[in-house]
Structures are given as structure tokens and as C-alpha cells.
Amino acid sequence: MRPPSFLDDTVDALKSLADYAANAVRPTVRLGVTGLARSGKTVFTTALVHHLVNTTPMPVFRVSVEGRLRRARLADQPDDTVPRFPYEEHMASLAEPGRRWPESTRRIAELRVEIDYERAAGWRRGPATLALDIVDYPGEWLLDLALIETSYSEWSRDTLAGSHKPDRAPLAAAWHAHLAALGANEPAEEPAIARASELFKQYLAALRAGPEAVATTPPGRFLMPGDLDGSPALTFSPLVLAPDAPIVPGSVAAQMERRFEAYKAQVVRPFFREHFARLDRQIVLVDVLSALDAGPAALAELETALDRVLAAFRAGRNTLASSLFAPRIDKVLFAATKADHLHRRDHARLEAILRLLVERALRRTKGAGAAAETMALASVRATREVGVRDGAQTFAAIAGTPEAGERIGNQCFDGDSEAAIFPGELPDDPQAIFSGAVEAGSLRFPRFRPPRRIADAGGRLAALPHIRLDRALEFLIGDRLA
């Protein structure tokens, strides 16, 4: 990534110094929560906050199991210009009678949880408070960071090459036809530019809606525009450019290039400086199961997208100098979500597949001195494990309530009836996923409704069930609560 200007360096250093000074007064951990589309970011953040503020028993979270977690409470977030994560709204959506999953993350959001605890030992033993700032943001935005060191010509060439792949060309047909009739060196006219941009966005939307929904082509904000919708910074497109040909001033290409550079300057760099560069810890959620079900091509796209996302991390062991001037992410957790869609005997296989997909990123992260780990989890467990008898055999299965309209074979679920489902088995050798050992469509992963929560005699609702959320918490912040 190209280094920022001297002014950017100065601004970043001043922000780091301010954060360091504030952390000395009130110890704080900034935890980034990200992942590509439909990976479960919102559900993870909601469940994490739910278990902290309700101090539910968490056997692997040491501060909890040792009885040192006194209480946790929501507090005013430190950044007044960042939207608040709507925790209460998301909890309400998980409750009866609707029991629906929260809306997906489409913009950055933040929430502060103040954790009161007892230090375990040493001369500092006694009561203490840790402020946990949770920053929830779309993983697609990380892909944009690679644009900072990319020219408009390079981006156009690479994006168009990807769009001509056999499985993508039909999705890009209308866009390709428009570009073929649009001369890059013709005088710039807004209707033609706007049309090219709109067709390009339709192509990006089709990629996300298709079987390889994990495939992600920047700019990430084109499908999540927010208050920039319709602005010139979000109205451009790749063009067919002659190799090494100069861009003619006043042309379509010159206008596209100007807007591409504005996007980097006004959208990508501020996100890096204001949010991403200030993170201490990071969890990356990955929907491995959907990619597995889509086949080897989708898995290859997921591997590539994850590698690009994770290359953006400024990971490493923090020293005093780095803490003062350029803080690093010193712990990264890669988590395969929706582990509740599999029987527990397949969880280790799911984690092995995830480890294979992020192998390069793991090496980079650990090589930089940061701690990194992989695990399979379910932030909110929607199923339970059951045995299904078929003659003399008993098969390990899962049971839950599939959402209305979900199908397995010829069976369509109504959203109310519970069903026992044998999801299929993952291969013992994770490398086999790229050879077609898992046939596309052979696995059964219907979307389940959130679990019912039964109230006790005192009217208190049971905590949201989960798989290894406590282990994730211990890795991410356990050392700061010792």
C-alpha cells in the first residue's frame, strides 16, 4: 500500500498519541468485527454484547469462570460521528414472536461496553474497568484499501479481465456492450458516464446474488453507498483502455480517472485513518459453508477475497513506539461461522478448511509478530444435535426450525415446523475441497430461524445459546482482563 502523504502521517501520529493518552487514563481495547457478505457480523456483535452485559456463564472465558467478572454495561461511545450499533433493536428481532435474524451490516457502527472486573493477581490486584469499543464494519470495505496503490488504468484492466471469465461474462454482458460503444477518449458526457456506472453496479450486484456470492470486486461502497449515493465519487466505471495509451484531458477516461481518485481520497483513505488504523484486535468472520456448497470455484474466489482483505491489516507486536505513533493489530481471529449447521464431529474439519483458506494470511500475521488463531463457532446456535434412526443405523443429525420457503429436495418448509436434517459430511482432507470431492449442492444447509428462548419460573429468558463464543472472547480480550 502506498504510504500516505506527510500530512496524513502527521494526522495519524497525533491521533495515535491521543488514543494512547486516553488509554492510559481509561484502559481500552478497540475490537474490529468484519467479514464478507452474509458471514454473520451483526449476529456475532449482538451475541457478544448480550453475554457480556448479562454476565452469562461462559466456561472458557476465564474472567467469567473464575468469578472475576463483576458487571458489564453499555456506555456512551467515544466517536460521536459514527452510527451507534443498534444492539437493542437486534435483540428485539431475535425475540418472540417474530424470531428473525438482524439486518446485515451495511455500514460502520460502534458500541462501547465497559467491563468491571477483578484483576487476578500481582501488585495491581483489585477492581478495574476495561472499555471495549466494538467497531462493526463490512469486510468489502477492506478490499478498497488495495485501491490506494492502484492506478485507474490498472484497476480497469484487472476488473475487466475478471469480468470476462466464462462464469462472469453473462452477468456483465450489458455492461460490456455499453463499453464497446463508449470510446474512452471521446468527450466526457454525463449520461454515458452515469450509464456505464449503473451497468457496472448491476454487474457487481449480480456477482453477489449469484452462486459465488463470496466473490467481491471493489469498490465496496458501490453496493453500500450510504449518504454518498449518486455522488460523482460513486459514479464511475472501468473502461477499455489501449495499453500504454495516454488519457486525453476532457475525455470520458479522464473523467472516470478523476472520480476514481476522488473515491480513494474522500472515501477509502478517511476510513483507513479514522477507523481501521486505530484497531487493537480483529475478528474476521467467514461463511465457509456457503462457499463449500457452491463448489470449488466459489471456494477459490473466497480464498482470493480473504487474502486481499487480510493483506490490508496492519498486524504485528506492539512496541512503545508503535503504540505511540502507529498502533498495530496484535491479535487476529479467523472464525468459520454457522458451525451449528453441522454436527460437532465435523467442526474440526470445518476449522481445518478455514485454516487452509487463510493459510497465507496466517503466515503473514504470525510473521509480523501478532497472535492469530482459527476456530469454528456459532454466535447464536439455532439447532441442536439429534440421532436419526434408519433401520438398524443411527445417523448424527441436527434439528431446528428452517425458515419459511427453505427447501431440501422436494420438501419446502413452512417456518413453523421443526425438522431433523443430515447436512452431509465434510472431507477429512481439507485440500480435497478444491478437487471437487464435495460436490456442489451435495451439502444441506437450510437457513434456520433463531432459537426459542424459554423463560424460567421467574420470567427470566434463557441466554442465547452459542458454540465457542466464549473461546473467541477469551482469545480476543482475555489477556486484558487478567
Do 23 and 42 sit in the same domain of this protein? yes
In angstroms, what CA-CA distances link 446 with 93, 338, 404, 409, 441?
Answer: 20, 11, 10, 11, 12
Burial of 37 (0-12, 13-18, 19+ CB in 10 A): buried
Q: What is the pLDDT of residue 4?
A: 43
In angstroms, what CA-CA distances link 212 with 16, 303, 438?
Answer: 39, 12, 16
Do 196 and 259 sit in the same domain of this protein? yes
SS3 for 193-239 is HHHHHHHHHHHHHHHHHCCCCCCCCCCHHHCCCHHHCCCHHHCCCCC
Q: What is the pLDDT of residue 366?
A: 85
Q: What are the φ and ψ backbone dihedral angles of 266, each rounded to 5 degrees?
A: -95, -15
Do 182 and 89 sit in the same domain of this protein? no
- pTM of the predicted model as reported, rounded to 2 decimal places: 0.87
Do 209 and 290 sit in the same domain of this protein? no
Among 305, 394, 406, residue whose Cα is nearest residue 343: 394
Do 304 and 371 sit in the same domain of this protein? yes
Indicate the residue among 249, 269, 289 that finishes a domain. 269
Rounded to whole angstroms, the Cα distance separating 31 from 137 reads 11
**What kind and span of H or E run contains 384?**
strand 384-390
Within-domain flag for 425 = no
Within-domain flag for 42 = yes
Q: What are the φ and ψ backbone dihedral angles of 56, each rounded to 5 degrees?
A: -75, 150
**Parallel, antiparallel, or unpaired for β 384-390 and 127-136?**
unpaired
Do 237 and 287 sit in the same domain of this protein? no
Rounded to whole angstroms, the Cα distance separating 429 from 272 reads 38
Q: What is the pLDDT of residue 309?
A: 76
Do 81 and 108 sit in the same domain of this protein? yes
Q: What is the pLDDT of residue 214?
A: 55
Within-domain flag for 404 = no
Domain count, the chain: 2
Do 473 and 324 sit in the same domain of this protein? yes
Beta bridge partners of 397: 386
Q: What are the φ and ψ backbone dihedral angles of 267, each rounded to 5 degrees?
A: -115, -55
Rounded to whole angstroms, the Cα distance separating 381 from 451 reads 7
Within-domain flag for 222 = yes
Rounded to whole angstroms, the Cα distance separating 472 from 208 reads 28
At 321, which CATH number?
Answer: 3.40.50.300
| DSSP class of 68 | -
Do 253 and 157 sit in the same domain of this protein? yes
Indicate the residue among 269, 291, 307 that finishes a domain. 269
Among 290, 272, 394, residue whose Cα is nearest residue 342: 290
**What kind and span of H or E run contains 374?**
strand 371-376
Query: 3-state DSSP call for residue 128?
Result: strand
Residue 70 near residue 173, CB atoms below 8 Å: no
Scan for cell 496503490, then name that residue. 149
Range of the domain at 164: 143-269
94 CB-side CA count, 13 A? 26
Ranges under pLDDT 70 in the chain: 1-25, 210-216, 315-327, 440-441
Do 116 and 147 sit in the same domain of this protein? no
Rounded to whole angstroms, the Cα distance separating 187 from 248 reads 9
Cβ neighbours, 10 Å, residue 317: 11
Within-domain flag for 476 = yes
Within-domain flag for 182 = yes
Q: Which residues contact 99 (CB under 8 A, 6 or more apart)?
A: 449, 450, 452
Share of the chain above pLDDT 90, in %: 59
Q: What is the pLDDT of residue 16?
A: 47
**C-alpha 384: how far from chain center:** 25
The cell numbers describing 355, all together, are 485454516
Rounded to whole angstroms, the Cα distance separating 226 from 137 reads 13
Q: What is the pLDDT of residue 23?
A: 56
Within-domain flag for 284 = yes
Indicate the residue among 239, 269, 299 that finishes a domain. 269
Do 287 and 352 sit in the same domain of this protein? yes
Within-domain flag for 339 = yes
Residue 47 near residue 379, CB atoms below 8 Å: yes
Q: What is the pLDDT of residue 395?
A: 83
Report CA torsion sign: 247, 251, 255, 256: negative
Among 23, 128, 132, residue whose Cα is nearest residue 77: 132
Do 115 and 232 sit in the same domain of this protein? no
